[in-house]
A and B are shown apart, each in its own frame.
Chain A
Amino acid sequence: MKKAMKKYWPIFLLPTFAAFVIGFIIPFVQGVYLAFCQFTTVKDATFIGLSNFTRALNDSTFHHALWYNCAFVIVSTLAINLGGLAVAMILTRAIRGRNAYRTVFFMPNLIGGIVLGYIWQILLNCVLSLLEKPLLALDATAGFWGLVILMCWQQIGYMMVIYIAGLQSIPDTLVEASEIDGATPLQTFFKVKLPMLMPSITICLFLTITNGFKLFDQNMALTAGQPAHQSELLAYNIYYTFYGRSGPQWRGIGQAKAVIFCIIVVAISLIQLRITRNKEVQQ
């Protein structure tokens, strides 16, 4: 067996590796290169140095999108994870129709972001107009909370699945032992279950934070950045800079923004992974 592996590893490894190079490494390197260029189509680019980065960093819509997105990530990460964990706690108890509920909570995840965005736009606009409040496209705060509601609705079910898996993997013996020792349910939760859940929490936080930063279709369908770029998240801001603005200089600026964006997301995710993984305990 081992001998065979030694002989045939290229057959298994090379196709995937080739796909990885073609689908990820080449576009990534080309993308970084294009951030230093001025171009209309990616085929003929002229190198212009760092000026795209200075212009990207001086763009006020980009600043706004950055802090708006950070606020969104904080709020949505908290809401989705608390919600997901709460639902998981409830649905790991012996309730009738437990699997049916799990399916129902998971289902929104199967609908595409654009469709969800438009559906929620109609729903929220109806509510807002009944309350005689300005519609989503006129009010960046309403747009913000609309986006949070949408993302919670879509993602809580997904995180719930991961948390359920985590909760079920906690050995009953530990929980029983703590009960025999006289721990209250709250103490059991915080002192026993939560530390044992840390691997799931690491994953869920990673997923929600990166999703929050990369969020694009929901943002585009729900508000499209209205009013006047006030509800734009970073990914949509980059897209708009690249495609929405005419003139050759904008493509490079959009590309520069994308590189900055990539660095920010990678940095934040690494920090988060480090912090939460330190808190993980071994069984």
Chain B
Amino acid sequence: MKKRLLALALVAALALSALSACSSTTDETQAGTAAPTSGETAAGEAETPAETEGGSTASGGSVYYLNFKPEQDAQWQELAQIYTEETGVPVTVTTAASGTYETMLTSEMASSDAPTMFQVNGPVGLNSWKDYCYDLSGSAIYGELTSDDYALTEDGAVYGIAYVIESYGIIVNQTLLAEAGYSVDDIQSFADLQTVAEDITARSDELGFAAFTSAGMDSSSDWRFKTHLANLPIYFEYQDRGITSTDAIEGTYLDNFRNMWDLYINNSTCSPAELTAKTANDSLNEFLNGDAVFYQNGSWEYANVVGEGKYTDDDVTMIPIYIGVGDEANQGLCTGSENYWCVNKNASEEDIQATLDFMEWCVTDETALQAMTGGEGAMPSGQAGMAFAIPFKQAPESSNLFVALDAQMTAEGKTPVSWNFTTMPSEEWKNMLGSAMAVYAADQTDDNWAGVVSAFVDNWASEYALANGG
């Protein structure tokens, strides 16, 4: 009896663990759904190399691009297919789900056909992957860059090429703002923004909308604050101290940061206690529904905000994030890049060559450039393009309104705020800051703010030491 039951239980335990093993593998394959199809068809064609046009392209090599941006997955799949049709070189594009890039890159890099082309997010990301980066100095794509500032260099080697320059700020629904009796010209500083936002909140019942969309602290949305908003106090501190990175942040402007965060969470569509449950989609939908005037986000959201059934270029605009520090009259949008292309140096020589050729094609071929910079209908299939501003010599003007605004502000003599969050010591630092910010939002006491300050200042030093101490 006893034995039989034990055997039964062991079988059950075995079945359970087998099932759980199954589910984890399906997760993995699902993450890369789009890839195998294009890869397979490409491989089939590669057997008879179509040496029609690009006769000089590497024969036998293939490209495997692990893409960071889920928003642009469809466009990359299409570009990959076009490239394969033109040259016969198989190109596989796999996109990691939001927030899982590092995880996926780690496991893919260990597999037998590792990505030949991947992304790092800046100096801190490079720190993890430097041993896998091919030196791109002397490559064609490096020569195409409009400025050396867009290359990620270390010890004289070029490890990464920024392929997209982005701007973020506060996206404004101008129609609603006019309904409230203001225009963007009224907002030239933090004090102005505060006046307008608090006035809208006071009259929100009568107006029918709030000042800010929900500052969601769900993982799909919290990067807008723990990373992008937190960039501002870091930027101004770096400016004061005349540095570009540090092992210990002082937190000089954290009071301003607190004012801004207070403004966001207390003049929003929802109670600050609910923020941890609010997602990026919630926030976007609130903006699209006209529930709020201001929406902090970046140029990458252009296609989500403007288009059929959404707003037009005249409805929306973007203003700088003022936090009440520095020369606000001349402050521009936050502009920079955290998307650097890298080539896997452990890939076979043919694959490296094929990848270099593919990268060059992306930034020189007319169709590819159109796809990367164009908006509505820019893809050969008629789909919307990526609407990127890309730092390459042959790139046409981007059709992205927010990118154009950034160029316009810079031309007017405003200084763009650089992206210093690429120097944040680790993901862990950002997560702890986000967590403290959410706790503070739910219960806005000085004690809880002290938690944010500690996550900002103390954690910076300890995380920096951990990341660089060995």
Contact = CB atoms under 8 A, between A and B. Distances in A.
Interface of A: 40-43, 112, 125, 129, 132, 134-138, 162, 165-166, 169, 199-200, 202-203, 206-207, 224, 226-228, 243-249, 251, 280, 282-283
Contacts of A42: 110
B442 A138 contact: yes
Given A41-B106, A135-B276, A227-B438, A246 B1 contact: no
B276 A245 contact: no
A246 B467 CA distance: 8
A280 B6 CA distance: 12
A247 B127 contact: yes
A166 B5 contact: yes
A136 B127 CA distance: 34
Contacts of A243: 102-103, 106
Given A135-B274, A137-B276, A40 B2 contact: no
21 contacts: A40-B129, A41-B109, A134-B442, A135-B273, A135-B276, A138-B442, A165-B8, A166-B5, A169-B5, A199-B2, A199-B6, A203-B6, A206-B9, A226-B435, A226-B438, A228-B431, A228-B432, A243-B102, A246-B124, A246-B125, A247-B426
Interface in B5-24: 5-6, 8-9, 12-13, 23
A226 B276 contact: yes
A224 B109 CA distance: 25
B276 A138 contact: yes
B470 A249 contact: yes
Contacts of B103: 243-244
8 smallest CB-CB distances across A and B, nearest first, come from A203-B9, A41-B110, A137-B276, A228-B435, A243-B103, A41-B109, A199-B5, A246-B128
Interface residues of B, number: 42
Given A203-B9, A227-B435, A135 B2 contact: no
Interface string B116-137: 0000000011011101100000
A167 to B, nearest CB: 12
A245 B427 contact: yes
B275 to A, nearest CB: 9
Given A41-B110, A134-B273, A248 B439 contact: no
B313 interface: no
B9 A162 contact: yes
A41 B1 CA distance: 48
A202 B1 CA distance: 14
Contacts of B427: 244-246
B428 interface: yes
A283 B1 contact: yes
A3 B455 CA distance: 71
Most chain B C-beta atoms within 10 Å of own C-beta, residue among A135, A166, A224: A135
Contacts of A224: 219
Contacts of A227: 435-436, 438-439
B349 interface: no
B438 A138 contact: yes
Contacts of B274: 129, 135
Nearest to A135: B276
Contacts, number: 102
B71 interface: no
B103 to A, nearest CB: 4
Nearest to A112: B23
A203 B128 CA distance: 44
Given A246-B127, A247-B128, A203 B5 contact: yes
Contact of B277 (A135, A245, A280, A283): A135
Given A135-B277, A162-B9, A199-B1, A248 B438 contact: no
Given A199-B1, A246-B426, 7 more contacts: A112-B23, A206-B13, A207-B13, A226-B435, A228-B439, A245-B428, A246-B125
B443 interface: yes
Contacts of B276: 135-138, 226
Contacts of B2: 199, 280, 282
Contacts of B23: 112
Contacts of A280: 2
B6 A138 contact: no
Contact of B5 (A129, A134, A165, A244): A165
A243 B100 CA distance: 9
Contacts of B431: 228, 244
A251 B128 CA distance: 11
Interface in B269-289: 273-274, 276-277
Contacts of B12: 162, 207
Nearest to A246: B128
Interface string B418-446: 00000000111001100110110011000
Contacts of B435: 226-228
Contacts of A136: 276
B219 A40 contact: no
Nearest to A248: B128
B428 A244 contact: yes
A228 B6 CA distance: 41
A245 B426 contact: yes
A169 B1 contact: yes
Contacts of B127: 246-247
Given A138-B438, A166-B5, A169-B1, A40 B109 contact: yes
A66 B6 CA distance: 29
B392 to A, nearest CB: 28
Contacts of B129: 40
A135 B8 CA distance: 41
Nearest to A48: B470
Contacts of B467: 246-247
B1 to A, nearest CB: 6
Contacts of A249: 466, 470
Contacts of B470: 249
